[in-house]
């Protein structure tokens, strides 16, 4: 009842914030910093809003653009010889308002100051 | 050195296995089973290999097809009135061999039997 | 205002369902089935309700028991020579009712049948 | 062969870095900033190294201490009326060296500068 007849024509969301933690498997090295740097370099050239923290990389844009560039990160690492990759993507979408990742943090920090 | 000049032309992976746990936020209900059922209904009609377990839904196919249908799941729930969605996607790609989600489980179960 | 004075005395939840995907890093092998089998063997002997699917292992019990056994899985793999481990844990707690992982799936399957 | 006889006596790891994204369910509000601020306030008083970014909170310490405080975050929100919580925890352990979350970011940033 609540679903459209042909779900295959549903669009993907116009905006999302995705935070991902990409893990190369089988490289023989316990370090992942080289791969994370390559991912960051690709992200910073992709035209979307990106940032980095100790547990992942964050990218903002349309669902299709964001997922395309994350997939390209996989291909980049595979092209450099990583045979297997596991990735954890936290992705959020909302229809009530636009909010950047920076605004999310600022709102929490404002609440923390108010509570002091 | 190891990166191609124009990273924007990198393709996305031809195959992936994604397992996702979609959470509607702000619905006023602690139950998410209705939303999970809607997501499963969409997935089962999308033509990809899908399955379900207590902590998520699994879908296999090309990166683009898989990410498109997961994005459509967001749009489906938004269209039904859910204003905010958070999703955790575990996605794996590999270039050394093709392996389905079923084969992954079967291999572990074989090892468990051998170890007995 | 809404927080107790001494938060350090807060208890941990009496029940949770955790689903985790443990990734050994730096093993030199793209296969993780051996490690997943070892984790399953430990889980199946721990006295908690456990199950497995293609994207992870699920364990139910008190917060402390569940997190202890997941930590022991890390130690088990480290003891077998894995120098680095990354783990993605989806964990849920609720106060409105008790629901097992099996019941979560059964409720969705019931909704899917009703919708046909 | 490779496993000790009694796995139940395995210790949990002496150190870990956990990054978690806690989602209150059924609150009727699409905003989660109030809950995130409460979590941050608890974390900042717990004696462990903590930080925050747009997609989560990061905490470093022994496995037991870290998991205890994350569980207390659940109890704190439940105590404030949130009946259901879903949490995504990315947790890493390693035996080859000690590395803080700050050092992880600094190493990637160094590689990015070198590559310019």
pLDDT tens digit string along B6-30? 788 999 999 999 999 999 999 989 9
pLDDT band at D7 (very low <50, low <70, confident <90, very high): confident
Q: Quick one: average pLDDT of C28-40?
A: 93
Eight-class DSSP state of B28: S
**ipTM greater than 0.90:** yes
B2, part of any domain? no
Closest-CA residue of chain B to D30: B26
Report yes or no on D7 lying in a domain: no
Give the gap in angstroms from C-alpha A87 to the nearest C-alpha of chain C. Answer: 10
Residue B5 lies in a domain: no
What phi and psi, each to the nearest 5 degrees, are found at residue B24?
-75, 135
B62 shares contact with chain A (CB less than 8 Å)? no
Question: pLDDT at residue B3 above 70?
Answer: no
Q: Give the pTM.
A: 0.94
Share of chain A above pLDDT 70, in %: 95
Q: Ramachandran region of residue B42, left (φ > 0), alpha (ψ -120 to 50) or beta?
A: alpha
List all chains that touch chain C, counting a touch as 3 or more CB pairs closer than 8 Å: A, B, D
Compute the average pLDDT of residues C69-84. 97
Quote the longest CA-to-CA distance of chain B.
52
User: DSSP of A46-72, one letter per residue?
Assistant: SSSEEEEETTEEEEEE-HHHHHHHHHH
Residue A7 lies in a domain: no
What distance in Å separates the CA atoms of residue D11 and residue D1, rounded to the nearest whole number? 19
DSSP C100: -
Does residue B7 lie in a domain region? Answer: no
Place of tokens 């080289």: A34
pLDDT digits (tens, 9 = 90+) for D31-49: 999 999 999 999 999 999 9
| A14 contacts chain B (CB < 8 A) | no
Question: CB-based contacts of C42: which residues, under 8 Å, 6+ apart?
Answer: C69, C72, C73, C76, D3, D7, D10
Is C69 part of any domain? yes
CB contact under 8 A, C30 and A26: yes
- Dihedrals φ, ψ of B45, to 5°? -100, 5
Residue C99 near chain A (CB below 8 Å): no
Query: Is residue C5 in a domain?
Result: no
Give the closest residue to C20 by CA, choosing from D50, D29, D67, D37.
D67
Rg (chain B; Cα; Å) = 17
- Looking at residues B54-69, what average pLDDT do you find? 96
Smallest CA–CA distance, residue B43 to chain C, in Å, is: 12
Instruction: Looking at the complex, report in whole angstroms how far the Cα of residue A96 sits from the nearest Cα belonging to chain C.
Output: 25
For chain C, give the mean pLDDT: 92
Q: Say yes or no for a CB contact (<8 Å) between A30 and C84.
A: yes
For residue A12, pLDDT beyond 90: yes
The CATH number of the domain holding residue C55 is 3.30.70.930
Q: Could you list the residue range(s) of the whole structural domain that residue A61 is in?
A: 13-114
Measured between beta carbons, the chain B residues lying within 8 angstroms of A79 are 4, 10
Tokens, residue C83: 């120098």
Best mutation target among A5, A16, A69, A72 (most B Cβ atoms within 10 Å) is A72
Task: Name, in order, each residue with C-beta under 8 angstroms of C85's C-beta and a sequence gap of 6 or more.
Answer: C22, C23, C24, C25, C74, C77, C78, D92, D93, D94
- Specify the pLDDT at position C41: 94
d(CA C31, nearest CA chain A) in Å: 7
Residue that the structure tokens 């204003």 belong to: B83
CA dist list (Å): D114 to A35, A38, A51, A52, C95 = 14, 12, 19, 17, 51
D84 touching C, CB under 8 A? Answer: yes
Whole-number mean pLDDT of chain A? 92
Residue written as token pair 């100790």: A54
Residue A2 lies in a domain: no
Query: In what side-by-side order are the strands of the sheet with B16-25?
Result: A49-53, A56-61, A16-25, A84-94, B84-94, B16-25, B56-61, B49-53
| Lowest-pLDDT range of A4-13, A53-62, B100-109, C92-101 | A4-13
pLDDT tens for each residue of D84-100: 999 999 999 999 999 99
pLDDT, residue A116, reads: 66
Domain count, chain B: 1
Indicate left, alpha or beta for D100 from its phi (over 0: left) and psi (-120 to 50: alpha).
beta
The answer to whether B71 and B22 are in contact (CB under 8 A) is no
DSSP-assigned letter for residue D10: P
pLDDT in tens, D52-71: 999 999 999 999 999 999 99
Chain D residues inside the 8 Å CB shell of A91: none
Whether the Cβ atoms of residue D101 and residue D60 lie closer than 8 Å to each other: yes
């Amino acid at each position: 009842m609540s679903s459209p007849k042909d779900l295959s024509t549903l669009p993907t969301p116009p905006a999302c914030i995705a935070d991902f933690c990409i893990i190369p498997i089988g490289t023989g090295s316990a370090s992942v910093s080289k791969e994370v740097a390559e991912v960051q370099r690709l992200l910073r050239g992709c035209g979307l809003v990106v940032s980095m923290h100790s547990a992942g990389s964050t990218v903002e844009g349309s669902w299709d653009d964001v997922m395309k560039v994350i997939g390209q990160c996989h291909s980049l690492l595979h092209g450099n010889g990583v045979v297997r990759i596991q990735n954890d993507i936290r992705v959020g979408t909302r229809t009530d308002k636009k909010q950047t990742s920076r605004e999310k943090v600022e709102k929490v920090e404002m609440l923390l100051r108010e509570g002091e």
